[in-house]
Each structure stands twice: as C-alpha cells, then as structure tokens.
C-alpha cells in the first residue's frame, strides 16, 4: 500500500513538474521558433562594459518599430575574432553586419572579398532621421567626420563600405586619490616636462614605501597606442612634406610606398625623438609589460598599483564602472618647443584622437536579408538610434545632432591640434604591424634602447613593406576585375531609364573608382619595381 502511494506521489510530482515546465516555456521563455519572419545578426568584439548595452538598446527600439525583424547581437572575444571572422565568411555563415578594422592581422583581403559597398545608400538621406535637423541630409554627411577614416581605408576609392557608431580618442585616466597621496596634490602635469617630474616623484615614493607602484599601467596594447601617438606628433613636419596631394592626410598605401622611396624611416631624427619619448614612458611601467594584453593593464590600474593608464575612450566605461576610486580623465601632456628631446622637431599640438569615427560595421555579401540589414544600419546611425547607443554605452556618438552626456564630454577632442592621419606603427599594414610588435620589447625593456629597436626594424621593414604593398595591389585587383560587367550592366539600364537615371550615376561612380584603383595599382607596382626585389 505504501509503495503504491509512493508511486502515485512520484507520478504526481513528475506530472506537476512537467505541467509547470510547459507553462514556463510557452508563457515566459523565448519561443523556440521566432514569430518574426526575418532574423539578422550583428557581430562585434566590443565585449567590454558599455557597447553591448548600447547595441541592445538600439535593437530593442528597432524591433518595436519593425515587428517583422528580429536582430541578434553576436559578441565574439577579441582573441578569437580574426579566426571567427575568416572561418564564418569563408563558410558563408557570417553575421549580416560585421565589425572590421583595417589593423586586424592577416585580414586585409576581407573587405574586397566579402563586404558589399553601400555607396548608393550613402548618397541618400537616412529615412530614420525624418523630423530631425538631418532629415534631408545625405546619410554620409550625418556622420561627424563624413566617414573620413572609412574613405581612407576603403578597398575601392570613392566607394563606401561601412557605417560607424562612435567617435574615439585617447586619454590619460588618473587615480586622483593615489596621485594626491604621492604628490600632495591632484593637479595634473600640463606638459611632458611636468610629467617627467611626476614620474620621478612616483618612483621615489615606491622606493621609500616599498609599494610596487608604477606611474603608468603597462600592457602591449596600451604601449602601442601611446607609441603611435607620440610618434605621430614627432613626425608631423615630415607627414606634411609627404602629403604630396594636399589631402591633409597620408594614406597607409602612401606610407608604404614612401618608405621604399626613402622619404621616411625610423632612423630619421624626428622618428628617433618620438621613440625616445616612448622609451621614457615605458621605463615607468611594470617590467615585462609587453607580454601582457590590455586587460592586465586595466587590472593593474584598478588594483591601485598604477597612478595613470593611457587608454582609448573605448575603455572608459569599463574603467569607471569597475573602479573603487574616483577617476579623472585628461589629455596626455605633450612636449613643447622647449622640450630637450622633441623640441627641435616641434610642429604644434598634435591630435589625441577625436574627429574620426570608429566601431565600423560592414554589410556581408552573403547576407540573406541585405535590405533589412541596411535598414538596421540606417536606424543605428540615425539621431535616435545613435543617441540610444551613446546613453547606454557611455561612448561618444558618431552622428551629428546627438547630445553628448556631460560625464563623457572630456572624451571629445577640441579642434586645437594638427593631424595628418599618418600612422607610422601598426596602421600601415598587417605585416609591418607584426614586425613592430615583435620588436617592441627592444625599445621598452630596461636593457633595450632606441638604437636596438631601430636596427631591428631596419632589418625587418624592407620585406614587410613590400609584402603589405603587394597585398594592397592584390586586394584592389579583387575588386577591379569584375567591375567591367557591372559598369556595362548599369550602362544598359541607364540607356533605358534616361540620362538622369540612377544606373548612369552608378556607372559613373564605378568608372571613377575603377580608374583610381587601376592608377594606384600602377603606382604601387612602379614603386615596388624601382625599389627592387629586396633581400
């Protein structure tokens, strides 16, 4: 009798549990099959504090406006992002919208092979800006920088491939309590000379107290950003001379070709001055920091083991949310004309970011729903969509008319500095970037020196530059070769639609970009030919 009761009790509990599970699945959880007929995915590596919240806010509002479409955010850790992107794009399983950066190692062919240009859409107003001051403004002109960075890095001149979500800059984040404890004041140094004094006081404090405190939190990533920043400033005069087209910018392919022509190298006095400044700063970081990634520098700063951390504003939200102490945000103190190292090459205050937008998203050629994907691109870069991103992420906006919260206003760079866009480190090409990072320890370690780094780079650069220049030619050829068919198709459609038809305009744009690409390919090929095969 007892066994029968136990059996019935067990069956009753099982039935109750099953009934509750059914109730939960059908009333509380997400349906196994989406009720929305279209699903698009947006993938990126910005998994730090802030951006995922901003994108989620955009998605929530977009799905309210578009009940047919479901948008999924795919977060991919940076350490595996390159492999993830290559594998999924080759297998035609990639997300509809994918974040990409020209500095990603070994991926320079990706835009030409797998991303679809969106030039035609860029010439028309963003429909989601209706009722705003940007209602009748072409989409491209709604971005704070006019998508200048994307124009510079586009695989096909004259074509637009990406939209951006944020404006970025580089800042010095300060643990003010620790600074006050060590120096007796929380007043920030105004110049690099003043910063040297603070560095000395921090070293003296660490020696006196036995506390392992450093002036700067160190990691390979943060060091490369700072090195690029200081080198750009030291090379301003040479960048201006090398801007032979008067674009107020030096493109990566130009830098590669100009290196082969002998118009710059790391042994020039300006470059050595910038490298010397970087060495000064690196000696105030924890020894061996080049073996660590930026997470290690962040943890060092948050533990209170470093007074400052030089980082992009993309780390600002994480630092502020995780810190147990007040953080102040400053522009990095720059050398002046009187500086003993950089003074002879001083051109003026140099840019510490700002003006350019980033976190760029590209349209996958293999997208099953390109119309909906472009529509989502429209919304996330509208005034409403970008405001949602800014408010929830703590990152700067990329769109005009979006209000910047007061707590991140310090991230904005005033228009009081020079920039020619030249990147003498990791921005020229993936092979050059790998050579720089491989030899960085020769500059930053205690027993290193500027000469050791320069000697190593002189040995590595000729072949690295040639390799990256050949990649530039190859990537442009991928785009140029099939364009004749598209040009002729637009010509045929244009004859039917009349002289004002959009196919004729598309044909003209394609012909123009094709001519530019072919001209650049000839120029780069000639530079390689004149320079010779190398060693």
* Mean of pLDDT values over 508-525: 79
Tens of pLDDT, residues 310-326 = 999 999 999 999 999 99
Exposed, middle or buried, 94 (CB in 10 Å: 0-12/13-18/19+)? buried
What is the pLDDT, as a whole number, of residue 59? 98
Q: Where are the beta strands (DSSP E) in 297-343?
A: 306-312, 327-330
Q: Please give the share of the chain, as a percent, with pLDDT higher than 90.
A: 65
pLDDT score for 192: 96
Q: What is the pLDDT of residue 32?
A: 47
* Total Cβ atoms within 10 A of residue 48: 20
Angle between helices 192-209 and 176-183 (to 10 degrees): 80
Write out pLDDT tens, residues 296-307.
Answer: 999 999 999 999
What's 96-125 look like in SS3?
Answer: CEEECCCCCCCCCCHHHHHEECCHHHHCCE
- Whether pLDDT at 483 is above 80: no
Provide mean pLDDT across the span 45-74: 96
Q: How confident is the model at residue 21 (pLDDT cuts 50, 70, 90)?
A: low
Q: What is the mean pLDDT of residues 15-44?
A: 65
Parallel/antiparallel/unpaired status of strands 69-75 and 38-44:
parallel
Q: Is 345 exposed, middle or buried (0-12, 13-18, 19+ CB in 10 A)?
A: buried
Report the distance separating Cα 117 and Cα 109, nearest Å: 14
Mean pLDDT (the chain, rounded)? 88
Q: What is the mean pLDDT of residues 266-284?
A: 96
Mean pLDDT of 322-334: 95
Identify which has the larger pLDDT, 82 or 7.
82
- HSE (CB half, 13 Å, CA atoms) of 339? 26
The pLDDT of residue 376 is 99
| Cβ–Cβ under 8 Å, residues 253 and 524 | yes
How far is the C-alpha of 450 from the C-alpha of 464, rounded, in Å?
20
Please tell me the class of the 169-354+423-451 domain: alpha beta
Q: Tell me which fold the domain 38-167+355-411 belongs to.
A: D-Maltodextrin-Binding Protein; domain 2 (3.40.190)
Nearest to 492 by CA among 509, 480, 483, 504: 504
Q: pLDDT for 392-425, tens place per residue?
A: 999 999 999 999 999 999 998 887 888 776 788 8
- pLDDT for residue 26: 43
Candidate from 19-28, 107-116, 460-469, 479-488 with smallest mean pLDDT: 19-28
The residue among 31, 72, 35, 52 whose CA lies nearest residue 369 is 72
- In the numeric block, which tokens belong to residue 87? 């594998």
Distance between CA 54 and CA 39 in Å, rounded?
A: 19
- pLDDT, tens digit, 9 for 90 and up, residues 129-160: 999 999 999 999 999 999 987 777 777 777 89
In the numeric block, the tokens 């044909």 are attached to 507
User: pLDDT confidence of 4, banded at 50, 70, 90?
Assistant: low
pTM of the model: 0.83
- pLDDT digits over 425-476, tens only? 888 888 999 999 999 999 999 999 999 999 999 999 999 999 999 988 888 8
């Amino acid at each position: 009798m007892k066994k029968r009761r136990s059996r019935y009790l067990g069956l009753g509990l099982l039935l109750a549990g099953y009934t509750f599970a059914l109730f939960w699945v059908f009333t509380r959880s997400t349906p196994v099959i989406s009720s929305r007929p279209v699903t698009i995915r947006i993938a990126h590596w910005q998994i730090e504090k802030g951006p995922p919240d901003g994108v989620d806010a955009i998605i929530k509002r977009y799905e309210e406006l578009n009940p047919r479409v479901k948008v999924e955010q795919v977060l991919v850790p940076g350490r595996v992002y390159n492999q993830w992107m290559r594998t999924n794009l080759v297998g035609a399983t990639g997300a509809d919208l994918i974040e990409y950066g020209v500095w990603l190692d070994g991926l320079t062919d990706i835009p030409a092979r797998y991303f679809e240009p969106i030039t035609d859409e860029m010439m028309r107003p963003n429909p989601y800006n209706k009722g705003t001051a940007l209602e009748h403004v072409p989409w491209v002109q709604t971005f704070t920088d006019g998508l200048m960075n994307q124009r510079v890095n586009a695989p096909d001149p004259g074509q637009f491939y990406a939209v951006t979500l944020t404006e970025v800059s580089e800042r010095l984040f300060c643990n003010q309590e620790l600074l006050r404890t060590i120096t007796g004041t929380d007043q920030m140094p105004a110049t690099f000379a003043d910063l040297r004094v603070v560095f000395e006081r921090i070293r003296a404090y660490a020696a006196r107290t036995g506390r392992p405190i450093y002036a700067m939190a160190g990691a390979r990533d943060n060091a490369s950003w700072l090195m690029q920043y200081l080198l750009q400033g030291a090379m301003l005069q040479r960048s201006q001379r090398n801007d032979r087209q008067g674009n107020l910018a030096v493109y990566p392919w130009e830098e590669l070709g100009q290196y082969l022509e002998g118009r710059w190298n790391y042994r020039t006095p300006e470059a050595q001055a910038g490298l010397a400044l970087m060495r000064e700063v690196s000696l105030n970081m924890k020894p061996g920091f080049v073996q660590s990634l930026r997470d290690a520098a962040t943890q060092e700063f948050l533990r209170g083991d470093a007074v400052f951390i030089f980082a992009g504003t993309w780390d600002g939200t994480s630092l502020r949310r995780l810190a147990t102490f007040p953080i102040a945000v400053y522009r990095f103190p720059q050398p002046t004309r009187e500086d003993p190292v950089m003074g002879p090459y001083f051109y003026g205050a140099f840019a510490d970011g700002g003006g350019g937008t980033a976190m760029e998203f590209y349209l996958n050629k293999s997208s099953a729903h390109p119309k909906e994907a472009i529509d989502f691109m429209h919304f996330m870069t509208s005034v409403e969509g970008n405001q949602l991103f800014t408010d929830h992420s703590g990152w700067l906006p990329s769109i005009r008319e979006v209000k910047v919260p007061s707590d991140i206003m310090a991230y904005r760079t005033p228009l009081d500095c020079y920039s020619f866009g030249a990147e003498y480190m990791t921005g020229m090409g993936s092979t050059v970037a790998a050579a720089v990072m491989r030899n960085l320890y020769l500059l930053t370690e205690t027993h290193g020196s500027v000469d050791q780094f320069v000697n190593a780079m002189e040995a590595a650069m000729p072949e690295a530059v040639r390799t990256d220049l050949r990649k530039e030619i190859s990537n442009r050829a991928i785009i140029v070769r099939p364009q004749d068919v598209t040009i002729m198709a637009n010509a045929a459609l244009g004859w039917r639609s009349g002289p004002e038809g959009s196919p004729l305009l598309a044909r003209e744009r394609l012909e123009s970009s094709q001519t530019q690409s072919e001209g650049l390919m000839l120029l780069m090929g000639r530079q390689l030919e004149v320079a010779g095969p190398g060693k």
